[in-house]
Structure 1
Amino acid sequence: MSNDNRLSEGICQRLNSGDKDDEPLWNSKPTLQFLSIKKVVAVNNNDPSNNPGSTTADRYRIIISDGLHFLQAMLATQLNYLVEEDLITKNTLAVIETMSCQHILDKRLVILLSLRVLQRESPKIGNPAPLTMTPPQPKTDGVSSPGTVASVSSSTVPQSHNQQAGNRTNPIYPIVALTPYQNNWRIKARVVQKSDIRHYSNQRGEGRFFSVTFMDESGEIKGTAWNAVVDDLYEKLRENHVYLVSKARVNLAKKKFSTVSNDYELSLDRGTEIEECHDADAPVIRYNFVNLSGLQDLQKEAICDVVVVVKEVSDLSEINTRNNKVTQKRDLVVVDNSGFSVRLTLWGKQAEQFNTLPDSVIAFKGVRVNDFNGRSLSLLSSGAMTIGPDIPEAHTLKGWYMDGGAQASFNSHTQARSLSGPGGTINRSDMRTINDVREAQLGMSDKPDFFSTRATIMHIKTDNILYPACPTPQCNKKVTESHDGWRCEKCDRSFEKPEYRYIISMAVGDHTGQIWLSGFNDEENAAKANHIIHSATCNMYSFACKASQHSFNDQNRVRYGIQRMQPLDYLAESRSLIELLHSALAR
């Protein structure tokens, strides 16, 4: 290709006839054009309401073209947002960063796992002709399908050899292609996580269940076994082993109870058939790694994968949870070659069984981002960790650590956030626009968020600028006058006289929007407050603010409070801009 806008001519023919194990082919990163994108709607047939419109989920089929030929492909579930957010459309040009080939019925289907958009809209290139993926070639060496050493059925009725052999004729589907209306399917997937057996009690009685996460090269899906099936399957399904799974029910996923990136989940019942597979062509765990330095860019509660070196391992400890249960936890201090260290917490069985020494490389799949001390991580019960994984990212990290990384000094996200934190310091190097504050949903979590902004005062409310407050230190609640003085309901006391506090509400704006800020006299003295009221309107200031959630009339609202404000220091502002121009961000 002479430039990025030229298609990889001939690649569709190669994908049509090439070996599915040809890694150079499937890792060739071709440039293709999307001739059409079609939504495939799957209906949950288990919905008792029989209202398909209320129980649908989406898959997207894409016709890919290299200018000479075109083929049908399927978009991996994790890329659905590209269509839903209108980032790709008809005639989009894109580099396919990762793709795979899966067998479905008598065809092979290209699965697009990751891509990079070059041009969202483009004229159609060439006059491509159709190609149909050739069916997979059967084994001709006279040997049965490799690796199925043991048949495990959750049914208590023994199956004949012919029944098991008949099951092996079902086509192997990629996980991304599973929908509730399919019947004769199998998946070949690795168990990347298995939960403990858990107990529940409700109006219908008591029971037990456990869950597993299956993964193949196209995606992942959660499977759950209940009650009697727990006894049949719990010891037979093992983490990091590969299985052929069929005859499970495909239901819409209950997102409230799952962090697995799939619209569907499997119900493993008494008719489900599971066979362990030792095939050399077994799916491997797929990661989407994030550097520790990039955690600050992720929202609270985001789920990600990290590959890290363990610097410190704490002792096992116990804590009481909100439902008065005791659980074990263990904290790790982990680092990577981005120069940051973060606390990562393990829970329950994962904490108890962790016995890895410091300086080990571990890949974690499925960790939650928390905002404790800036940023911290927590391994989910549905997550998994692989110690010393044989992947390029782990080898690179180990080499860096042995070649001097172990003696490096590491930053923490606590330090990065403290500049605009509770102390009210204005951070010129990380000013946020008003639109940034809203887009990041600051103040919507359980804990307050702190930020710095530069804005012009548009209007200051002058009514109700004072209120009678409780004189008790750190109380400051409004008091009401009664027959025995001024009463504070919070302190349950009456006082001879109140302490009047200033409360200022001002509308401030920048080029992206406008918000209301509130300030009290414990941030600014009375003289300065009066000065602001009379002379601040239409002037620009730098603010250090706190965003927090407050309840008013049974509705939660975000309140933006001023911790510090000061007129622009043009010399300091200029120096900050010069430093920004010489930073790595500007290079």
Structure 2
Amino acid sequence: MAGVTELTRGAIAHIHKTGQATGEPLLQVVDMKLISPANPASTTNAPRYRFGLSDGVHFMQAITASQLTTLITEGRLKSLSLIRLKEFICNNINNKCILIVLNLDVITQLPTKVGNPVNAYSALGQQNQPVNTMAQPQTSYAPPNAGMPSNGNHAPAPGGYGSRGFGQPNNFEQPRQNGFSSVGFGGNGNQWNAPKSYSNGPISKMGSTPTGFFRPIQNINPYQNGWTIRGRCTYKSDLRKFQNARGEGQVISFELTDESGSIRITGFTQRAPEIYEKVHLNRLYKVSRGQLKQANERFNRSTSNFEMTLDTNSQLEEIGDDGSFMQINYNFTKIASLDSIDVKGNCDVVGIVTGIGPVSEIIIRSTGEPCPRRSITLTDDSKSSVELTLWRKQAETFLTEADLARHPVLLLRNAQRGDFGGVNLNVSRMTTIEKDPVDIPEANKLRAWFDGGGLANVNVQSVTSGMGGGGKITGERKTLERAKAEDVDPTFSGGSGGNGATATFVTRGVISFISTKGDMYYPGDPESKKKVVQYAPGIWTNESSGRQLSDTEIVWRYIISMKIMDSTSSEWASGFDEVGQVLFGRSADELRQLKEKDSAMFQSILDDATFRPLLMKMQVKERMWQNALKVRYTVSRAELVDFASEGHQLLKEIAAYGGM
């Protein structure tokens, strides 16, 4: 063969001997095999493939990193492919070098195998210098006088903090393929942006870390000594207190991320306050001598198989940032488009603070303890606003009413999209919030828009208040029958929806019946919207928070049971306050008073609400009801059909079927 198809002879022998490559050798893929299929029960486990890399004389075993798996599944990388090896890690297993390929270019597909390559290990023997210095696994670490917290995000699983102890590490030939996970960079779906490059030349040898060398985060494990990692802080928790059998303590966790992945790092009582003061979002840090243990996937959403604890011997140091190290990539969603994000999905949002509510408290049922909360209103240049809920310490200290005068910019990464009252945002364990961020173009643009009078004479639509304020309902239209087959049945078959799964879809139909059995409305707390009960004449109590309200302070809200139908099927569904206002054109309190004064008019209003064409955003969940799991439908949004708009929609659907 000639030209570009000539293999770089001698490259495999050089890699076998030194663990490094000279330049970017041209090699051929031989004997590709699937060694571990994707696990459908896991959101992070991708299929894994093993193959040989040949230079025509020798070959070595290799495994692709997860970011390259799509090259295989799409058929671009396969047996006999000619590739340019750009970046790799030489992972030593029993003195055999297994290549973890991080970056390659597929050049072409060759018709046959080049040469008659032999196994480099068999032909050349063991490496002259072991690539990996194997060490005994670290012993399980428990901080003195602290232990693991007994509640919150750090609750231990049976047998230790992880689901497996250090005596049961993952086989290094089958590393967990998290790929670019849900907590990586980006918003919608939170996928990592595939890195363009890790470094020039080989990524690592897996022995002790040379001076000035940083080990990729994804490659450290409890069997190594002398490593140092470098990463950008992409998450930082609050400093929390806990109490267990060993006494009281404090805990903080943060994540460091480099181009290979991310790792969760935790500090306990002795080091927690120091870490809290030292670590800041978006800054660079190097860490060494941390204690590694198996990651507890229940609480850890980083990409690493392991998580780290910093003790008194561990080193944590901020390092200079010249801008060359990878930056956080955001995928911002405009507030007006939040309805397109799945419920409980994550998104990146930047907004101007245009409202700050007072701090209120709810009672956590499991512990009976009060939990502070505060509602924040965010607005952006899509001329829409959304309610953000802060909890615990953030609710009390992050923003105060005094901040409203200067209208700070808030940047949220991995905010959780909720569906309470239409669309809202919540802060989850993995959400990070920055106030008045610098060097973020979207934040600077929004600041300039607001300071330039962007909100002057503008009618801002609230997506949280829902119907009529959340913009048009968008999404693929489905009949009830089709939605059941494609969305509902696959999600909840076999009772699998009991884990909090949600199916959502948009349908066009009518309400055929509205039940008047029981009340169609309830008295609620205007802040939390929770139901209140009458404690005494003129006195109402919110049993969740203990807050008392007068007759004039409570707000009546709809809770409707109705039957929806279209040309294919029908279902019983629930609807709440925003849906009720669309259906009846008046508040729940107005309808309640009308029923008491004029029952005939009340019934007439209910009749008028039926058999009117509606667009409905549906949510389906499986809930326990009378000791049985049942699928419950909810109309989360509704709007009257715009016949002109629907006519255009029908024309598009007909054209899609080739009818026009």
Normalising TM by the smaller chain, what interval? 0.5 to 0.7
CA contact (8 A) 1:224 1:268 kept: yes
Q: What's the TM-score once normalised by structure 1's chain length? A: 0.54
CA contact (8 A) 2:252 2:275 kept: no
Query: Could you tell me which residue of structure 2 aligns to residue 414 of structure 1?
Result: 463
Q: Which has the higher strand share?
A: 1
By how many angstroms is 1:188 displaced? 0.4
Q: How does 1:94-105 map to 2 (within 5 A)?
A: none
1:418 partner letter:
M
Determine whether 1:314 maps to 2:370.
no
Determine whether 1:91 maps to 2:60.
no
**1:176 aligned residue (196, 199, 218):** 218
By how many angstroms is 1:254 displaced? 2.8
Query: Could you tell me which residue of structure 1 aligns to residue 593 of structure 2?
Result: none
Change (3 A) 1:473 1:276: closer
Change (3 A) 1:246 1:574: same
Instruction: State the number of aligned residues.
Output: 451
SS at match of 1:317: coil
In 1, distance between residues paired with 2:573 and 2:371? 41
In 1, distance between residues paired with 2:223 and 2:443? 40
2:507 partner letter:
T
By how many angstroms is 1:433 displaced? 3.6
In 1, distance between residues paired with 2:36 and 2:501? 41
CA contact (8 A) 1:91 1:123 kept: no
1:322 partner letter:
I
In 1, distance between residues paired with 2:220 and 2:358? 41
Query: Could you tell me which residue of structure 2 aligns to residue 222 of structure 1?
Result: 264
2:218 partner letter:
V
By how many angstroms is 1:335 displaced? 1.4
Query: Could you tell me which residue of structure 1 aligns to residue 388 of structure 2?
Result: 344
Gaps of 5+ in 1: 1-7, 13-32, 42-53, 94-98, 133-153, 156-165, 476-502, 583-587
SS at match of 2:308: strand
**1:556 aligned residue (619, 625, 629):** 629
**1:431 aligned residue (477, 497, 515):** 477
In 2, distance between residues paired with 1:233 and 1:504? 54
**Over residues 501-546 of structure 1, what are the superposed CA-to-partner deviations in whole Å (9 max), with x where a residue is unaligned?**
xx99999885xxx7755799x99999x99xx9xxx9xxxx978586
Change (3 A) 1:553 1:257: same
In 1, distance between residues paired with 2:429 and 2:377? 16
**Over residues 397-429 of structure 1, what are the superposed CA-to-partner deviations in whole Å (9 max), with x where a residue is unaligned?**
6677678855595775738963799xxxx9798
Determine whether 1:251 maps to 2:296.
no
By how many angstroms is 1:223 displaced? 1.0
CA contact (8 A) 1:248 1:268 kept: yes
Q: How does 1:125-274 map to 2 (within 5 A)?
A: 169=211, 171-179=213-221, 181-203=223-245, 205-230=247-272, 233-260=275-302, 262-274=304-316
Determine whether 1:376 maps to 2:424.
yes
> What root-mean-square deviation, in Å, do the aligned CA atoms of Structure 1 and Structure 2 show?
6.7
By how many angstroms is 1:332 displaced? 3.7
CA contact (8 A) 2:340 2:475 kept: no
By how many angstroms is 1:331 displaced? 0.9
CA contact (8 A) 1:195 1:212 kept: yes
CA contact (8 A) 2:356 2:375 kept: yes
**1:390 aligned residue (422, 427, 439):** 439
In 2, distance between residues paired with 1:564 and 1:409? 24
SS at match of 1:196: coil
SS at match of 1:256: coil
Change (3 A) 1:273 1:297: same
Determine whether 1:335 maps to 2:320.
no
Gaps of 5+ in 2: 9-28, 80-84, 121-142, 145-207, 523-560, 576-582, 585-601, 656-660
1:300 partner letter:
V
1:574 partner letter:
G
**2:507 aligned residue (425, 447, 453):** 453
Query: Could you tell me which residue of structure 2 aligns to residue 297 of structure 1?
Result: 340
By how many angstroms is 1:244 displaced? 1.7
SS at match of 1:214: strand
In 2, distance between residues paired with 1:35 and 1:569? 59
Percent pairwise identity: 21
SS at match of 1:275: strand
By how many angstroms is 1:210 displaced? 1.2
CA contact (8 A) 2:412 2:432 kept: yes
In 2, distance between residues paired with 1:515 and 1:269? 60
Q: What's the TM-score once normalised by structure 2's chain length? A: 0.49
In 2, distance between residues paired with 1:36 and 1:101? 19
By how many angstroms is 1:216 displaced? 1.8
SS at match of 1:187: strand
CA contact (8 A) 1:36 1:62 kept: yes
SS at match of 2:388: strand
In 2, distance between residues paired with 1:379 and 1:562? 25
1:414 partner letter:
V
Determine whether 1:124 maps to 2:101.
no
Change (3 A) 1:548 1:175: same
In 1, distance between residues paired with 2:61 and 2:406? 49
SS at match of 1:254: coil
In 2, distance between residues paired with 1:236 and 1:563? 44
In 2, distance between residues paired with 1:40 and 1:451? 34
In 2, distance between residues paired with 1:519 and 1:504? 6
Query: Could you tell me which residue of structure 2 aligns to residue 480 of structure 1?
Result: none
CA contact (8 A) 1:103 1:173 kept: no
SS at match of 2:342: coil
By how many angstroms is 1:311 displaced? 3.0
By how many angstroms is 1:367 displaced? 1.3
In 1, distance between residues paired with 2:30 and 2:330? 24
In 1, distance between residues paired with 2:301 and 2:66? 17
